[in-house]
């Protein structure tokens, strides 16, 4: 376990680099995950946000937040509102950085479309799971309240983690994410290209193949946040992800509740699937900024918190939406399915 004095020393480098203002006494810890012996493992850098309320003894929730392509963990640390929420509600936030990677991909993309990186026991999925376990050796984490979310390729990798390690995470979220084992052709470079998606049946089959063991049959709740105007990850990706999740876990395709989440002039609708007691899937579709017809520049971003190349502060807060969802889900309290 890190002492407060050690946390202070470890965070100095990030403070000198210009870390954003935090609550008094809060810490940003820099750490390195060493490559392991299984296939595809690599050394990875990561940051941990430790709120001032953390006492080193009381078990607290842990949230892992994954950056998107052309980003680092600093973008998610600076441009989401998770640190402020952690200060308010007292949980640990983990920001991994892909650091290095194999294969043909855009800068810093998590390899959600590479078969070697989305299965238990190897590659990026296993590294992120092991990284979470490493954090648990250093901080007092509540094993019933571990969560993961991310943006774009990070959202797709959060989905992969939820499928491959459903026994570890209590719930997951994806902003502009993609279905499990989806191909890179689903991502668009131009607004007029719709993307090429596998069928929902193929998505479900891939999930089932990964979750063959009896311990893997746990239903893991998922929240999906998606802009209707995103030209990079189209709304169809969120629709396929939703439908595959509902099919895989035998949840009725009709939402039992829909409400208005509009904010700052941005239209937004949240729908919940499962039962009123405990949802299995929640979707948030909002009318985000539109990009140019060809490039879609400025339409693919984290909504409602900070500003940046892939962040737009106008609209409902994705951080608040995800955290509110996570607050209602624990590992030891399974979702109630309509058939039960």
The tokens of 172 are what? 């997951």
Residue 23: the pLDDT is 64
Q: Return phi, psi of residue 134, to 5°.
A: -65, -40
pLDDT in tens, 255-267: 999 999 999 999 9
Residue of 219, 221, 178 lying closest to 325 (CA atoms) = 221
Is residue 258 classed exposed, middle or buried when 0-12, 13-18 and 19+ CB atoms within 10 A define those classes? exposed
49 in Cβ contact with 131 (< 8 Å): no
Which residues touch 35 (CB under 8 Å, ≥6 apart)? 41, 42, 43
Mean pLDDT of the chain: 91
CA–CA–CA angle 48, 172, 197 (5° rounding): 120
63 in Cβ contact with 93 (< 8 Å): yes
Residue 338: the pLDDT is 67
232 in Cβ contact with 192 (< 8 Å): no
Does residue 106 come out as left (phi exceeding 0), alpha (psi in the -120 to 50 range) or beta? Answer: beta
How far is 183 from 196, CA to CA, in rounded Å?
8
pLDDT by residue for the chain (340 residues), tens only, comes to: 333 333 333 333 333 233 344 566 789 999 999 999 999 999 999 999 999 999 999 999 999 999 999 999 999 999 999 999 999 999 999 999 999 999 999 999 999 999 999 999 999 999 999 999 999 999 999 999 999 999 999 999 999 999 999 999 999 999 999 999 999 999 987 788 888 999 999 999 999 999 999 888 899 999 999 999 999 999 999 999 999 999 999 999 999 999 999 999 999 999 999 998 889 999 999 999 987 666 678 999 999 999 999 999 999 999 999 999 999 999 998 887 765 4
Residue of 93, 157, 101, 153 lying closest to 129 (CA atoms) = 157
How far is 337 from 300, CA to CA, in rounded Å?
33
Token pair 């007092």 in the structure block, residue: 140
Q: What is the DSSP string of 231-287?
A: SSS-HHHHHHHHHHHHHHTT--SS-SEEEE--BTTB-EEEEEEEETTEEEEEEEEE-
Q: Which fold has domain 4-327?
A: Rossmann fold (3.40.50)
Integer Rg of the chain from CA = 19
| pTM assigned to the model | 0.91
List, edge to edge, every strand of the sheet that includes 171-175: 27-33, 44-50, 92-96, 60-66, 141-150, 171-175, 222-227, 278-286, 268-275, 257-260
Residue 294: the pLDDT is 66
- Cα end-to-end distance, the chain, whole Å: 42
């Amino acid at each position: 376990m890190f002492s407060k004095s050690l946390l202070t020393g470890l965070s100095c480098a990030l403070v000198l680099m210009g870390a954003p203002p935090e609550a008094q006494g809060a810490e940003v810890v820099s750490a390195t995950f060493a490559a392991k012996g299984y296939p595809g493992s690599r050394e990875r850098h990561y940051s941990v946000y430790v709120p001032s309320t953390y006492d080193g003894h009381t078990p607290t929730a842990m949230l892992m937040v994954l950056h998107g392509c052309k980003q680092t963990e600093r973008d998610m640390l600076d441009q989401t509102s998770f640190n402020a929420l952690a200060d308010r509600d007292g949980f640990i936030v983990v920001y991994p950085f892909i650091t290095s990677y194999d294969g043909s991909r855009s800068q810093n993309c998590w390899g959600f479309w590479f078969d070697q990186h989305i299965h238990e026991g190897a590659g990026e999925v296993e590294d992120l799971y092991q990284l979470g376990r490493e954090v648990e050796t250093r901080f007092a984490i509540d094993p019933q309240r571990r969560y993961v979310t991310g943006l774009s390729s990070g959202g797709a990798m959060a989905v992969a983690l939820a499928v491959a390690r459903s026994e570890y995470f209590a719930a997951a979220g994806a902003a502009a994410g993609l279905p499990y084992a989806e191909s890179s052709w689903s991502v668009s470079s131009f607004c007029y290209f719709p993307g090429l998606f596998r069928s929902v049946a193929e998505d479900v089959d891939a999930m089932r193949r990964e979750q063959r063991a009896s311990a893997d049959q746990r239903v893991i709740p998922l929240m999906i946040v998606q802009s209707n105007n995103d030209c990079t990850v189209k709304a169809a990706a969120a629709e396929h992800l939703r439908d595959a999740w509902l099919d895989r876990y035998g949840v009725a395709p009709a939402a039992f509740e829909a409400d208005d989440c509009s904010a700052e002039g941005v239209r937004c609708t949240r729908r919940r699937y499962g039962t009123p007691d405990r949802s299995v899937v929640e979707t948030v579709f909002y009318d985000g900024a539109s990009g140019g017809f060809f490039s879609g520049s400025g339409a693919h971003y984290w909504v409602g918190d900070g500003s940046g190349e892939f962040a737009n502060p106008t609209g409902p807060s994705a951080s608040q939406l995800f955290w509110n969802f996570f607050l209602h889900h624990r590992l030891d309290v399974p979702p109630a399915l309509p058939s039960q």
